[in-house]
A and B are shown apart, each in its own frame.
Chain A
Amino acid sequence: MPFQLSDEQQLTQSSVREFAEAEVLPIAVEVDRNHRFPEETVPKLGEMGLLGMLIPEEYGGSGMDPLSYNIAIEELSRCCATTGVLVEAHSSLCSWPIVHYGTEEQKRKYLPDLASGAKLGAFGLTEPNAGSDAGGTQTTAVRDGDEFILNGQKVFITNGGYAGTFVVFARSTDAPGTRGVSAFIVERDTPGFTVAPPEDKLGICGSSTTPLFFDNARIPAANLLGEEGKGFHVAMATLDGGRTGIAAQGVGIAQAAFEEAVKYAKERVQFGAPIAKLQAIQWMIADMATDIEAGRLLVYQAADLEGRGEPHGNASAMAKLYCGQMATRVTNEAIQVHGGVGYTAAYSAERHYRDARIIGIYEGTNEIQRLVISRNYLK
């Protein structure tokens, strides 16, 4: 399927690239090295409208189409993977379910602050004993009058340390498996709700990845998101879009590694000529370019299907699966093109390699994507 980006999609690409190169790229190395959340970038992202891309204009967002949004995630991730996932988790995982499952009151209460960046969003699904098996959720939500009382623990929550609004999943009925899970909107200052210090990670080091603890945290019943007991459906529909976003992040990381490999190959002289003149390097560059383009087209296809309101779960799983592996392959080859210096922090190739590794893990591992995809063919 050939893709001709619309004028607006092309302008989104050039505008976000201009913004990211001016505001995101200059601090990317420092953010990674110091494992520092780029807090100062959040208001700039809000001003650019990059935190409200999936939020309709009537709630303060820009109401962009999913393909424009994924192009933006790629461009941000090309400069800084931490910033890419900051926006992705905020948008795909917190704003999107409120837009699509929230009541009018919930939308008016939460979306304007998410669109402006006054509050960051996060998504709490994963638990110590419920990662890929979301139906194994052990966090509980017990109804008490006009409130739910939440108890339990979440782990690996992106933006956890800085988010003001969380979409959280907890078991609220005795129904077994996925049927007893409900979704809730939780505000950061809720008594009994605490955020633990961030994890020390291999890559996306500036991203705030934290555990969440609920100790008799009382949530207004009005903060139930969607129907009670239908939380697993909310989570899976949310992840259908989110997975495309993570795939786009992988494309951006790979693109950055590729561009730096090309630049280095043209500059590095060995045997009296730039190494780009060597067929061994030329073939690596060709394979990397082809790999990235294949991944990008899978992202575009999944986003395009979503934008046209068509089923896109299979396409997003394919994009996520492919890009998770592609990003690791391409960044690995980028280090190889750089040779010894690629293994050092003097160049960004090693950062891209570390950042790429998470693409095949979060928002559903490669193995879960294969499960999702194969079910569509082995019904």
Chain B
Amino acid sequence: MKIVVAYQWAPDPQEATVGESGTVDFSRAKPAMSDYDATAIEVGRAVASAAGASLVGVTVGGASVAQPVATKAALSRGLDEVVVVSDPAFESAGTLPVATVLAQVVQGLGDVALVIAGDTSIDNGARLLPPVLGALLGWPVLTDVQTLQFDGTAATAARTLPEGVQTLSLTGPAVIAVSADSAKPKAPGMKDVLAAGKKPVTVKSAADVGGAPAPEGVVRSTAKPSGPARKGIKIDTTDPAAAAAELLSALRAAGALS
């Protein structure tokens, strides 16, 4: 039995720069695994170990996703093996082509009980990949999952929603999108770093998965939201009463309160 974690190796937004016009420049940002995906692997590791399943990482992207440092970074977080679809055709590919390829890889692996992913991504943050992947696989999708147990047959998931906590159980394969607070990723230890290089890595090209994706819409520009500029006032909340007074004062000064 396998449990799959879909992860992304993408330019780290922490290293992106935002120009005065709002343009986001990722050109000098080193690629990294997002905290969302590290969380998904942490959840996946616990679930796979409890169920006696193998934990397989799957990712789709350009040339950088197949670089040994990228696969070792993923494997050092607890994956047993990775399957990487790497091709320039998938550089900056959108949700649908990535989900299509992920679905194909998952079906090819066979005996996959769960696919776990982060709730969102570090680049576009569209929160679309798990639902689209579930639709393509024909599997149920649970989003906002904060806790997940799996005994090898049935899964129990708790979803934290604005309205409350919903607990569900399900059997059969499913796609699970875990929330950012579903686990606290631990930094890989030194033995994990060394072991990562000895784990299996499978690299596939676009030709292996049905060819390059069809052209999609492109991002023409990015800009700051329209509307009044933020004032950037920071209030120290150490003393709540003083902070409230300062907030009221600032709102009055801005004309929001009379």
Decide: B193 and A12 in contact? CB cutoff 8 A. Answer: yes
- Cα separation A377 to B159 with both chains bound (whole Å): 70
Partner of A8, one of B187, B189, B194: B194
Interface centre among B32, B190, B193 (most CB of A within 10 A): B190
Decide: B73 and A50 in contact? CB cutoff 8 A. Answer: no
Decide: A49 and B187 in contact? CB cutoff 8 A. Answer: no
Decide: A15 and B191 in contact? CB cutoff 8 A. Answer: no
Compute the total of residue contacts between A and B using a CB distance below 8 Å.
50
CB-based nearest A residue for B73: A11
User: Is B76 among interface residues, defined by CB-CB distance under 8 A?
Assistant: yes
User: A interface, by DSSP: helix, strand, loop or mixed?
Assistant: helix
State the Cβ distance, B147 to closest chain A Cβ, in Å.
22
CB-based nearest A residue for B190: A49
Decide: B187 and A11 in contact? CB cutoff 8 A. Answer: no
User: Is B68 among interface residues, defined by CB-CB distance under 8 A?
Assistant: yes
State the Cβ distance, B162 to closest chain A Cβ, in Å.
29
CB-based nearest A residue for B185: A18
Q: Provided the pairs A8-B72, A62-B194 are in contact, do residues A47 and B187 lie with their beta carbons within 8 angstroms? A: no
Decide: A48 and B187 in contact? CB cutoff 8 A. Answer: yes
Decide: B189 and A11 in contact? CB cutoff 8 A. Answer: no
CB-based nearest A residue for B38: A18
Q: Mark B29-41 against chain A: 1 for CB-CB distance below 8 A, else 0.
A: 0001000000000
Partner of B190, one of A14, A18, A50: A50
- Residues of B160-218 whose CB lies within 8 A of A: 187-194, 196-197
User: Is A16 among interface residues, defined by CB-CB distance under 8 A?
Assistant: yes
State the Cβ distance, B39 to closest chain A Cβ, in Å.
13
User: Is B69 among interface residues, defined by CB-CB distance under 8 A?
Assistant: yes
User: Is A10 among interface residues, defined by CB-CB distance under 8 A?
Assistant: yes
State the Cβ distance, A265 to closest chain B Cβ, in Å.
16
User: Is A330 among interface residues, defined by CB-CB distance under 8 A?
Assistant: no
- Residues of A159-182 whose CB lies within 8 A of B: none
Q: Mark A1-40 against chain B: 1 for CB-CB distance below 8 A, else 0.
A: 0000001101110111011001000000000000000000
State the Cβ distance, B77 to closest chain A Cβ, in Å.
9
State the Cβ distance, A14 to closest chain B Cβ, in Å.
7
Chain B residues with CB under 8 A of A72 = 190
Decide: B189 and A7 in contact? CB cutoff 8 A. Answer: no
State the Cβ distance, B64 to closest chain A Cβ, in Å.
13
Chain A residues with CB under 8 A of B192 = 15
Partner of A47, one of B68, B69, B189, B197: B189
Chain A residues with CB under 8 A of B69 = 7, 10-11
Decide: B197 and A49 in contact? CB cutoff 8 A. Answer: no
- Residues of A44-65 whose CB lies within 8 A of B: 47-50, 52-53, 62-64
Partner of A62, one of B32, B76, B190: B190
Chain A residues with CB under 8 A of B76 = 11, 15
Decide: B197 and A12 in contact? CB cutoff 8 A. Answer: no
Interface centre among A15, A18, A48, A63 (most CB of B within 10 A): A15
Q: Provided the pairs A7-B68, A7-B197 are in contact, do residues A12 and B73 lie with their beta carbons within 8 angstroms? A: no
State the Cβ distance, A276 to closest chain B Cβ, in Å.
13
Q: Which residues of A contact B (CB under 8 A)?
A: 7-8, 10-12, 14-16, 18-19, 22, 47-50, 52-53, 62-64, 68, 72
Q: Which residues of B contact A (CB under 8 A)?
A: 32, 68-69, 72-73, 76, 187-194, 196-197
By Cβ-Cβ distance, the 5 closest A-B pairs, closest first, are A49-B190, A19-B187, A18-B187, A62-B190, A7-B69
27 cross-chain CB contacts under 8 A: A7-B69, A7-B197, A8-B72, A8-B194, A11-B69, A11-B72, A11-B76, A11-B188, A12-B193, A14-B32, A15-B76, A15-B187, A15-B188, A15-B190, A15-B192, A16-B187, A18-B187, A19-B187, A48-B189, A48-B190, A49-B189, A49-B190, A62-B190, A62-B191, A62-B194, A63-B194, A72-B190
Known A11-B72, A12-B193; 17 more pairs at CB < 8 Å: A7-B69, A7-B197, A8-B194, A11-B188, A11-B196, A12-B190, A14-B73, A19-B187, A48-B187, A48-B190, A49-B191, A52-B190, A62-B190, A62-B191, A62-B194, A64-B190, A64-B194
